[in-house]
Amino acid sequence: MLAVLTAAALFPMAQAEHVTFIAVNDTHSQIEPASDGTGGLLRRRAIYDQLRRENPNTITVHAGDAVQGTVFFSLYRGEVEYSAMDSLGYDIIILGNHEFDNGINDIAHYYKNIKATKLSANYDLSGTPLDGLFQPYVIKAYGDKRVGIFGINVQPKGLIVDKNCAGMRYLPADEVAEATAKYLKEVQHVDYAVMVSHIGYDSYNPGEPNDTSIVAASRNIDFVIGGHSHTVLKPGTKYCEIKNADGRTIIVGQNGKSGKIVAAYDLDLETGEVTYRHIPVDASWDEAASRYTAMNQWLDHYRAGVDSLMNNPVGQSVREMSNKGAALQNWVSDATMNIIEEISGVKGVDLAIMNKGGIRTDMPKGVVTEGLINSMFPFDNRFVVLEMTGQQLLDALKVMASRGGDAVSKELRVTYNDKGEITQAKVKGKKVNPKRNYKVATIDYLANGGDYMVPMTEAKRLFVDEVKYGDHMLNYVRSLEKAGKKIDSPDEERMVKK
């Protein structure tokens, strides 16, 4: 009996039968807890370590967009986020679109030192600085069971500036995903094929493949760890349980953004059943996080630089405004008009169009700091003025309507229907004339076709600035403060679905 007990202790079956996937996505440089008190890199490390203690058979995954969104990235260009990858113990990472914000050379600079397996099945990176750093899939063996994991990335066109991904070739996500899963099952003889993706639960650009459309057409994918759309897919809801082409229920998971939730997927290697749970990254983990003294001390160096900006007041806001709400989007686009009048030399600018996705943080009530403005406008974009025909403008508005509207200045009023068709568009109270020319202030990201604004690429450029637009926004806030004015804007919807 003693011999039997000793053998059981040496070979615990419970550990061999289950694999836990620990996953986050779109953490967006949230090193410290966010303004709502949730998130934080050290708290996440405490959760990862706790889950690893519970089950030594773990695979820790980051599903892309580890960077961009706070002053940590604005100041240090990814040094903090990427240097912490190994300390957090990631086994698998994939690229998000924001990894390309500082260019493909920056990715190579950091990724060559990260120990995690780097996956991409549908980016051909041959001949680029990333050549040789990525592989399409990895296979993990647990006893007689084999698990294949592969990475699927988003279509870069319309999301990533061309020069930042020069030489990279995109292969259709939907075709590659199923083909890779089938290959893993039929040729590599894996028992389970897991897709780690950064394409979104649903599509930002209509017609692009997403997690749900790929799963619905699949026969070989067993579950999905997703990212990109910042969707919180609550375990046990119909939204994370998708029927595949054979009618089998497949778990599709994603846990919002900013590292406020850690997902744990438990794969039963005998049955294939996946159970899925969310773990809040909150203050209950602070005591455990405080024990990482070396990492805390390492972060202190970076915190000092961030604090110097976050504690430097530059203005005042009348009220809190969400970056998802009309008020802040209106303020940004109206501020753009005011700035363009000062810097461009172009007379008679008709309106401004900005992308709401480029406004990365909320505006608080009260003191506004330099660091906050840097976090709100972190991208390396420039202001431009375009000369667009009315038809090009209407076509651009249709793209914006397809995603629920965007940030536009007070000179523009638009209505659209359920199909995303423009039913009315007026500039300064007058109906947009398809044959007339309009002067439109925007940023080069949109003018280059970013956020799928292809109609803007056809326009004539009247002005291109040389200064980051975030710097102009910072100076604009300072000018308001100097004039005794506070930040405020109406809540009115300027693009309305009717």
Choice among 128-132, 247-251, 355-359 with the minimum mean pLDDT: 355-359
Same-domain check for residues 354 and 482: yes
Res. 386: pLDDT tops 90: yes
Question: How far is Cα 24 from Cα 20, in angstroms, rounded to an integer?
Answer: 13
> Do both 226 and 284 map to the same domain?
yes
> Is 207 found in the same domain as 78?
yes
Q: Is residue 294 part of a domain?
A: yes
Domain that holds residue 201: 14-303
Cα angle at 449 between 132 and 334, to 5 degrees? 125
Give the CATH number, domain containing residue 434: 3.90.780.10
In a domain, 7, yes or no: no
**Cα(217)–Cα(394) distance, rounded to whole angstroms?**
35
pLDDT at 206 over 80: no
Query: How many domains does one find in the chain?
Result: 2
The answer to whether residues 236 and 371 belong to one domain is: no
Number of H helices, E strands in the chain: 17, 25
Q: How far apart are CA 90 and CA 74, in angstroms?
A: 23
Q: Which of 251, 276, 303 is the last residue in one of the domains?
A: 303
In the beta sheet, which residues pair with residue 407? 354
In a domain, 4, yes or no: no
Q: What is the pLDDT at residue 188?
A: 98
d(CA 28, CA 62): 11
The Cα 140–Cα 60 span in angstroms is: 13
What is the Cα–Cα distance from 415 to 92, expressed in whole angstroms?
44
- Written as six digits, the tokens of 449 are 């076709």
Is residue 8 domain-resident?
Answer: no
Q: Which of 238, 210, 228 is nearest to 98 (CA)?
A: 228
- For the ranges 42-46, 159-163, 261-265, 290-294, which has the lowest average pLDDT? 159-163
Contacts of 437 (CB under 8 A, 6+ apart): 387, 388, 389, 390
- Domain identity same for 242 and 329: no
Structure tokens at 408: 């536009």
Which secondary structure element, helix H or strand E, spans residue 497, and what is its range? Answer: strand 495-497
Do 293 and 395 belong together in one domain? Answer: no
Q: Are 343 and 300 in contact (CB under 8 A)?
A: no
Q: Are 174 and 209 in contact (CB under 8 A)?
A: yes
Tell me if 112 is assigned to some domain: yes
Pairing of strands 117-119, 92-94: parallel
Instruction: Read off φ and ψ for residue 497, nearest 5 degrees.
Output: -85, 125
Q: What is the DSSP string of 354-420?
A: E-GGG--SPBPSEEEEHHHHHHHS-S--EEEEEEEEHHHHHHHHHHHHHTT--EE-TTEEEEE-TT-
172 closest CA partner among 149, 145, 196, 199: 199
pLDDT at site 319: 96
Q: Are residues 246 and 350 in the same domain?
A: no
pLDDT confidence band for 10 (50 / 70 / 90): very low
- The CA distance from 441 to 459, in Å, is 12
Report the alpha-carbon distance of residue 310 to residue 349 in Å, rounded: 34
The reply to whether 299 and 384 lie within a common domain is no
382 and 265 share one domain: no
- E strand or H helix that includes residue 252: strand 249-253
Among 248, 276, 303, residue at a domain's last position: 303
**Can you tell me the distance from the alpha carbon of 92 to that of 325, in angstroms, rounded to the nearest whole number?**
35
> Is 390 a member of any domain?
yes
Does residue 333 share a domain with residue 374?
yes
Per-residue pLDDT tens digits for 335-348: 999 999 999 999 99
Question: For the segment 389-420, what is each residue's pLDDT rounded down to a tens digit?
Answer: 999 999 999 999 999 999 999 999 999 999 99
Confidence tier at 13 by pLDDT (50, 70, 90): very low
Q: How far is residue 107's CA from residue 483's CA, in Å, rounded to a whole number?
A: 42
Task: Using pLDDT thresholds of 50, 70 and 90, give the confidence band for residue 207.
Answer: confident
pLDDT reported for residue 7: 34
Model confidence at 203, pLDDT cuts 50, 70, 90, reads: confident
| Over residues 421-426, mean pLDDT | 97
Residues 239 and 317 in one domain: no
Backbone angles phi, psi at 446, to 5 degrees: -70, -40
For 156-248, strand residue ranges (E) read: 169-170, 192-198, 223-225, 241-243
Band of pLDDT at residue 281, cut at 50, 70 and 90: very high
Question: Phi/psi at 286 (nearest 5 deg)?
Answer: -65, -40
Provide the mean pLDDT of the chain.
95
Measured between alpha carbons, how far is 101 from 286 in angstroms, rounded to an integer? 31
> For residue 492, is it within any domain?
yes
One-letter amino acid at 228 equals: H
202 with 231, same domain? yes
In tens, the pLDDT along 27-61 reads 999 999 998 999 999 999 999 999 999 999 999 99
pLDDT of residue 35: 87
DSSP state at residue 273: -
Percent above pLDDT 90 for the chain: 93
**Where residue 92 sits, what CATH number does that domain have?**
3.60.21.10
- Say yes or no to pLDDT of 245 above 80: yes
Q: Does residue 405 sit within a domain? A: yes
Boundary residue ending a domain (278, 303, 328): 303
* Centroid of chain to Cα 377: 15
Angle at 210 between CA 206 and CA 216, to 5 degrees: 115
pLDDT tens, 463-478?
Answer: 999 999 999 999 999 9
